[in-house]
Chains A and B, each alone.
Chain A
């Protein structure tokens, strides 16, 4: 329902043949606003706490942003198709604890760990995708259910309350000195590269455009020849695989211990980043660039609150307000667009 209001992002608009008109602008209004807000916040924080704009403060910030934005890529795709994935928190736990246990038992390189984690994550994502695409059940219900299943699975693999003695194999994507090149955390760099890839996929490939079509109207998309079920399965699979990568970032926190709180509540943090980034929860509209900026904004607020010496839980209040403001301005713009298209007719 929201797509129709925005001819610029609507691949099924009648005049969609002219390529330039399909892809109006590479950066949407929401992203400009987010960039502006982040810039203002950084300047303000830079003035009020001189320590904010230093490498020692910005590097951990980027390390925290990385997994949220990375998993946010998959979540953005899922939400663009009109779905949602509540189970990523549980999936993070399963991937992280599986890798942790194998690292403790066997000596292996980070590549093997990556393959294991991505395979496990993709498997879990595929279960979601299969149930949603072929069981024809609302995504929110299925992923509420699998969230419980994944937590059970994760806790079973944990065995005891913590996994101890995890070797430092994963430090390359961690927060320490080994995890940086030229001052940029590797995990953040990987995230930016994948965001760029996903941005290209969503804007410039047929498969990517199909995702928007499914979110706009699945029935129309199917009649237009989009293999809706296969694409739906794919986005949950991609989300799972990205959870596998993100779990390694969570695991590489610089301690040799992993406790059962890993992944807990992450699904809501990722969804928050996605919606602050301007992706419509109704489907059919959104961008991964916005998600990256959304994650950056949330983490800026969180770090800012801590560095100003305010109680750290206060940051959640600002996250809540940020969601309301971001989605609210988007709603206003949508209304303006709708009335503009109406007056044109």
Chain B
């Protein structure tokens, strides 16, 4: 198993309802239908098309003065500061959803809150060096994720229920642990400069300033997850158990152990994202990942939009990253289309429409071509 073919081979095409067209006709129709097929079945292609459309439309609107600020590459780059946690947490959801059997992690926002508080204690109050705080936060996230993993994989809890329960528990502990007060101070406030816009070394004058967090947090996580899922044996096993539990068991895969590690990995990413968010907000807030609708909902939304099949076994890192960029840059355009805060409401609308649209599209693609990849 050294190849990197998509994890599931689509079932053979249905016994043809329409007889195959004559070769000459097929030649002319093939370009259009091939494109349609690519857009419908290759989520990455669809996302690239949408991403380009969003950026071009917004730039046209901006050039004609419909937006409240200039929608240019500088703005796009600085908006990436919001994309960093989205990408990381959506990748965490990718891993658990791919692991199959109804895999999902509702608790990821609460893991972020609790790991963030632990980081706050270590870095601000105990005066630990930054790297030690980061390691502790990541370790905390891993342990919390491991609890989910044991509940789901070893004890057989449905993932939705197990992570709903731990969401309640972790959220509660995060608030109570420091008497409902956030942790902040000089040390933590100093961290903001480690994530905000920076002039990139050597080529910085020719490209827009990019938030440092993209390089220090997002890219390492993206590359790490990509290597793990698309280049390593762990990924093969994960897609295997997500596609078919029983088949994976007979193939000699440790199903429970692989699935448990998926939840632990999700927690690990949550722990790293927690440090980023503490740095971005300059404070370890008790509701870091659970304020408002929390971070789990957008993360799951982006994972699904990125082509991750909720039934498990299907999903790619590239799709998730593109989906996060699409949502971030679309949100930016919406925000600039309105005076004041009304844009936030329309961002909800856009997210909802995108998700329903993507889900319906998955259904169409499955019926028409036997699956997406």
Contacts and interface: CB of A to CB of B under 8 A. Distances in A.
A283 to B, nearest CB: 11
A323 B168 contact: yes
Contacts of A151: 293, 345, 348, 352
B172 A314 contact: yes
Interface stretch (A29-37, A135-143, A219-227): A135-143
B239 interface: no
Contacts of A148: 301, 348-349, 351-352, 355
A84 B169 CA distance: 22
A260 B151 CA distance: 35
Contacts of B164: 268, 271-272, 275, 323
A149 B165 contact: no
Interface in B354-373: 354-356, 359-360, 362-363, 367
B172 A320 contact: yes
Interface stretch (B134-142, B173-181, B266-274): B173-181
A272 B311 CA distance: 22
Interface in B268-316: 292-293, 297, 300-301, 304, 310-311
Given A147-B297, A317-B173, A323-B161, A138 B359 contact: yes
A166 interface: no
A152 interface: yes
Interface stretch (A49-57, A190-198, A324-332): A324-332
B158 A320 contact: no
Contacts of A313: 171-172, 175-176, 180
Nearest to B304: A141
B167 interface: yes
B154 to A, nearest CB: 12
Interface string A304-324: 000000010111110111011
A167 B351 CA distance: 35
A144 B166 contact: no
A207 interface: no
A320 B161 contact: no
Interface string B72-114: 0000000000000000000000000000001010100000000
Interface residues of B, number: 48
A145 interface: yes
A140 B310 contact: yes
B351 A317 contact: no
Contacts of B180: 311, 313
A152 B165 contact: no
Nearest to B147: A324
Interface residues of A, number: 40
Contact of B168 (A138, A264, A319, A331): A319
Contact of B161 (A145, A281, A314): A281
Contacts of A38: none
B165 A321 contact: yes
Contacts of B293: 151, 264
B contact patch SS: helix
B162 A324 contact: yes
Contacts of B104: 140
A320 B349 CA distance: 31
Contact of B172 (A84, A147, A272, A315): A315
B157 interface: yes
B301 A144 contact: yes
A137 B363 contact: yes
B346 interface: yes
Contacts of A328: 155, 157
A110 to B, nearest CB: 30
Interface string B125-140: 0000000000000000
Nearest to B287: A313
B348 A152 contact: yes
A138 B308 CA distance: 13
A155 interface: yes
B348 A149 contact: yes
A277 to B, nearest CB: 12
Nearest to B297: A144
A328 B166 CA distance: 14
A131 B361 CA distance: 12
B94 to A, nearest CB: 15
Contacts of A315: 172
B156 interface: yes
A278 B294 CA distance: 27
19 contacts: A84-B160, A131-B360, A138-B311, A144-B355, A145-B301, A148-B348, A149-B353, A152-B346, A152-B348, A156-B345, A268-B164, A281-B102, A313-B180, A314-B172, A320-B165, A320-B168, A324-B151, A327-B158, A327-B165
Given A135-B363, A317-B172, 13 more contacts: A84-B160, A138-B359, A145-B359, A151-B352, A272-B164, A281-B158, A281-B160, A314-B172, A317-B169, A320-B165, A320-B166, A323-B164, A331-B156
Interface pairs A-B: 4 shortest CB-CB: A148-B352, A320-B169, A320-B168, A316-B172
Interface of A: 84, 131, 135-138, 140-142, 144-149, 151-152, 155-156, 264, 268, 271-272, 275, 281-282, 311, 313-317, 319-321, 323-324, 327-328, 331
